[in-house]
Amino acid sequence: MSLPQGVNVSQSSCAGSPLVCKMHKSIYGLWKSCRKWYKKLSDALIADGFQQSQADHTLFTRGKDNTFIALLVYIDDIVLIGTNLNELQCFQESLHSQFKLKALGTLKYFLGFEIACSKSSLFLSQCKYTLQLLEDPRYLGSKPIKTPMDPRLKLNDQHCDLLSDPSHYRKLVGHLLYLTLSRPDITYYVHTLSQFMATPHTTHLQDAHHLLRYFKGRPGQGLLYSSSSSSLHLRGFSDSDWASCSVTRRSTTGFCIFLGDCLVSWCTKKQPKISKSSVEAEYRVLASTASEITWIQYLFKDLQILSSTLAFIYYGNQLAIHIANNPTFHDRTKHIELDCHFIRDKVKNYSIRLIPVSSRLQLANALTKELSSTTLHFHISKMAVHDIYSPS
């Protein structure tokens, strides 16, 4: 029997006992191996003067100004950035003396993401991943469509036949969830499909295939980050759809956050509790958006990004804005939990300012409800979502 490298077989001292394996080092692929590797790497980085971010424990930073280095770790994949190329090379040699590393040069591909850089911009997409997704169910020859899902359709878990083998649907939705990391235009629709993972029906699979046909028209769509026209100011758009889930009657939260003109965070999720009124649902969204902006501000401090301390949240519900600015609205807020009033503290200390916006210009609508193709593409264009691979 061949044994993996790093495993030593020794005979037990008791006569007649079976052979046992004594582990000298963890084998790649074991569930504890990544944790052991991460601890050893993080200990070495901290000993070398790096500081571990409290906002994101996989981020390590060292130095400032011309000697600043940031290191992002995902299991055994590492992204290294800095302001000085000589400093990066010296640190890479130092790290190589402790670990066996394989330097891949300029960042072009990372965990399924394709990165195209120029002097003035950076483009992030998952084009290759999308094309592989289309090849599996043989949808490369399908006819493209303009919308991720029929805006007139409301999915539920009734009046349909259950799938005989739900594994295909679960695998497909799992792939789609990873694709939402670079495509905010499909986030709401994939979130809707993921609610039926336990007991998927035939209509749910049909809608998942409908989404694949949407990819066919724009497989290389991604996010464009421009350095020439962007300011370092945080802006958030937030919206909710009250009692939108026909199964649980919970509301949907949606927000997107920009650094200047660049989209840096977005989210679609079902609220954890049933809101008794549309105002409560809207107020919960403000609190969630404020919490995300606060986390991003902590992250910017670690990355030494000098953004403005005042962030704007654009919101369409005037009553929710009044409640956040006026703590004496007892009749309207006595049934809302205290943790939702987090937004009040942020408004009071002038770290967040709430600004009303019309529904037509509310970009977070794309993250809370089905939209027509014209409205969806208008919102997505304002999020700096482009397809650099499409013919001009």
Q: What pLDDT sits at residue 187?
A: 92
- pLDDT tens for 241-260 read 877 776 677 888 889 999 88
**Domain end residue (candidates: 117, 138, 160):** 117
Which helix (H) or strand (E) covers residue 94, if one does? Answer: helix 85-98
CA atoms of 271 and 251, how far apart (whole Å):
6
Q: Answer for the pair 65, 76: CB distance below 8 angstroms, yes or no.
A: no
SS3 for 4? coil
Q: Answer for the pair 389, 220: CB distance below 8 angstroms, yes or no.
A: yes
CA dihedral 259, 260, 261, 267 (to 10 degrees): 30
**Domain end residue (candidates: 117, 151, 184):** 117
In a domain, 392, yes or no: no
Q: What range defines the domain where residue 313 resides? A: 230-357
CA atoms of 351 and 67, how far apart (whole Å):
30
In a domain, 286, yes or no: yes
In a domain, 152, yes or no: no
Q: Kindly report the backbone phi and psi dihedral angles of residue 180, in degrees, each rounded to the nearest multiple of 5, phi listed first.
A: -70, -10
Residues in the chain where the model's pLDDT stays below 70? 1-17, 23-33, 136-138, 159, 229-230, 246-247, 327-340, 390-392
- pLDDT tens for 302-355 read 888 877 778 888 887 777 777 777 765 555 566 566 656 777 788 888 888 888
Q: Max Cα separation, the chain?
A: 82
Q: What pLDDT sits at residue 5?
A: 40
In a domain, 154, yes or no: no
Q: What pLDDT sits at residue 331?
A: 55
Q: Round the average pLDDT of the chain to a whole number and report it.
A: 81
Number of domains present in the structure of the chain? 2
Q: What pLDDT sits at residue 9?
A: 39
Q: What pLDDT sits at residue 25?
A: 62
In a domain, 259, yes or no: yes
CA atoms of 118 and 290, how far apart (whole Å):
33
Q: What pLDDT sits at residue 4?
A: 39
CA atoms of 72 and 82, how far apart (whole Å):
12
CA dihedral 356, 360, 366, 371 (to 10 degrees): 150
In a domain, 155, yes or no: no
**Domain end residue (candidates: 71, 101, 117):** 117
CATH number of the domain that residue 278 is part of: 3.30.420.10
Q: Report CA-CA distances (Å) from 364 to 51, 79, 344, 386.
A: 35, 31, 21, 18
**Closest-CA residue to 142 (of 210, 51, 56):** 210
Q: What pLDDT sits at residue 142?
A: 76
In a domain, 67, yes or no: yes
In a domain, 93, yes or no: yes
Q: What pLDDT sits at residue 339?
A: 59
Which residue type is seen at 245? Answer: C
Task: Give me the residue label for tokens 């929710």.
Answer: 320
